[in-house]
Structure formats: structure tokens, C-alpha cells
Amino acid sequence: MFRISIDAMGGDHAPHEIVAGAVWAAQDYGVALELVGKQDRIEQVLDEISLKGFYSDCGTGGRMRRIKIDISSLDIKITHANEVIEMGESPGAAIRKKKNSSIVLAVDAVATGSSDAVVAAGSTGAAMASSLFGLGRIPGIDRPAIALTLPTIKKPIVVIDAGANSNSTPEMLYQFAVMGSTFSKNVLGIDNPRVGVLNIGEEAGKGNELAQGTYKLLDEHGKGLNFVGNIEGKEIFLSVCDVVVCDGFVGNVALKVTEGTSSMLFRMLKQEFKSDFVGKIIGLLAKPFMKRIYGKINYEEFGGALLLGVKGITVISHGRSKAYAIKNAVRVAKEAVETNVNEKIAQFYGK
């Protein structure tokens, strides 16, 4: 049985939603847990869940339902951490200063073999820095990158880097392509994943020096990679490729714009459905269809993003993650351990 380490104090809704999602995953996916954080608060949440359960909309964005968990049947270990790294703190300085913080000790659990993977919903920078210093890099990889899975019309795609590196080189993006392709093939089950570079045009000469240099590297030296060239932002969700490669600045901006646009569209639709009598009737008829669409694009379904390139499994969840998202983040962590994605990345470089 795999044991997943959870930073119970990280995120906007910690520790209740984090612990709730973790125990939910433990029950449904058969994993053991190492909950890292302030022990008294974690135990309080566990007691509450054991007595009353908790409520979740299960990723539908609709009606809440009660989730009951038999805590006594789960393998749960609590590791006390008396410090927490806050969202506004400088990641590098914070992990050096707060060596007993929940994220540092959660990553340390993986480094020492106490757990097989870590899930964190707090500061992305702190999770990255802790993983980089605590676990080390895979040989052949200069910098780790965040691989985020997104829905499309046909099948999921991987966007890498989704925010780990704002200043990258073509060599780094080449490595991101290797890691993203390996993840897509082994974790998502995509045969011979198509790799594209996010750019402002399809032609090889388009874009800035980084994009042009990356295109050249992949075109000339991308042996073993199914490189399909440049793709534009409008094509990300049209299934023209399976892995979208970009630097962390561009990737994060693209994702935040996508997130904001989808949120705006759903709000506009809700407003129109409430605008008059006809709209209310149409809205009532469309409700089940809207729920299905929401379920397909909801970030909670994907749980979290895998930090690729480190010698261990780190899953970074959205800061506002609630129980359902954390449950799915634990699933992502389990799948990454099962498929041994890090070893396969190292094999590409012959390490």
C-alpha cells in the first residue's frame, strides 16, 4: 500500500478541507496517509469527520452532499509540524528559516522513504523549493517543471511548464517536452504523444528567440519525441497535440486567462437563465447538461499538477482546493507512483 504525505496546513481551506479530501481518497483509493501539520488541529478535524462526516459538492458546483468516512479503518500517521509557510513569504528564505514547516516535513517524508509521494495545496513556490532541495533533480534535468492536465474536446492534454520557471532556455523547454511526453504516455495512457510548442504562429520562424530556439532543438534533436511544430493559443483545446510546451510565465498566464474566461462564461449563462421567464425555463431544461460540462472542465476533477524533474513525486494543488480536489490530487499522486514516471524520464537520458 502506498503512503501519501499531505501538507495539511497548506491552502485557503486548511486544515479541514485538506484532511477531509485526504481521508476520502484513502477510503476510495486504498492509500495510507501521513498528515503533516499542527497535530492538535489535525486530530480535531479527524474527530469531527469521524463523528459527523463532511459536506462536498463532489465537483459538480451544485448541491452539497454528506460524505461519511470510517476513520478507524484507515492507515493514518500524523507528523507534527509547528510552522507554516504562508503564501506571501519568499519560498527560498522560508524553507531555510522554517525547517519544521508542514511543507518541508511533508517533502522530507518522501525523501526519507516514510511516504511515497507528497500532495501540497499551499504556496506553489514553497512546494517547488522544498521538493527541489529535499528530493534533488533527476540526472539530465536542469530545472523541474509543473505538468498540468487540462481537458479538451477529445482527450486530456498536458501543459508544461505551468508556472515553475519564468526564465527558461531552449534546452530547458526541450527537457520539458521530454518530461511532458513521458507523463502523457505513462500516466495518461496516450500512445506516441504529439508535442507542440506554444507560439504566436505555426511557422518555424515565428515567435521570440526562446520559441525559435526550442523549435530548432526539437526539430533537429527530438529523437523519440513526436514533435508536430508550433501551436497557437487558440489550438490548445482543439486536440491538435497532446503536450503543450512553454516557459512557466507564458504557461501560467495562459492558464489563468483560460480559468477566468470559463468562469466568466458560466456566470454569464447563469445571469441569462435568470433574466426572464423564458430564460428560467431554458435554464431548468439545460441544468443537467450544464452540470456535465462543468464536470468536464472543473479543475477539481484533475486534482493537481505533477512537479516533474525531481527525484520523487510532488503533486501541487490549487490554493483554493477543497476536499474533492484534494481527493483527486491524491489519485494523481498514486498514479504517478504506480507508473514510476520519474524512472522513465531518467531512462530517456540513459541515467
Q: Same structural domain for residues 201 and 156?
A: yes
Q: Same structural domain for residues 337 and 265?
A: no
Would the pLDDT of 88 be above 90? no
Q: Same structural domain for residues 59 and 203?
A: no
Q: Same structural domain for residues 205 and 74?
A: no
Instruction: State residue 298's pLDDT score.
Output: 66
Is residue 294 a part of any domain in this protein?
yes
Is residue 159 a part of any domain in this protein?
yes
Tens-place pLDDT, residues 29-60: 999 999 999 999 999 999 999 999 998 888 77
Is residue 245 a part of any domain in this protein?
yes
Tens-place pLDDT, residues 243-253: 999 999 999 89
Is residue 347 a part of any domain in this protein?
no
Range of the domain at 201: 146-300
Q: Same structural domain for residues 50 and 17?
A: yes
Q: Same structural domain for residues 208 and 133?
A: no
pLDDT band of 194, cuts 50, 70, 90: very high
Enter the pTM of the model: 0.88
Is residue 20 a part of any domain in this protein?
yes
Instruction: State residue 296's pLDDT score.
Output: 65
d(CA 347, CA 243): 19
Tens-place pLDDT, residues 119-163: 999 888 899 999 999 999 998 899 999 999 988 878 889 999 998
Instruction: State residue 297's pLDDT score.
Output: 66
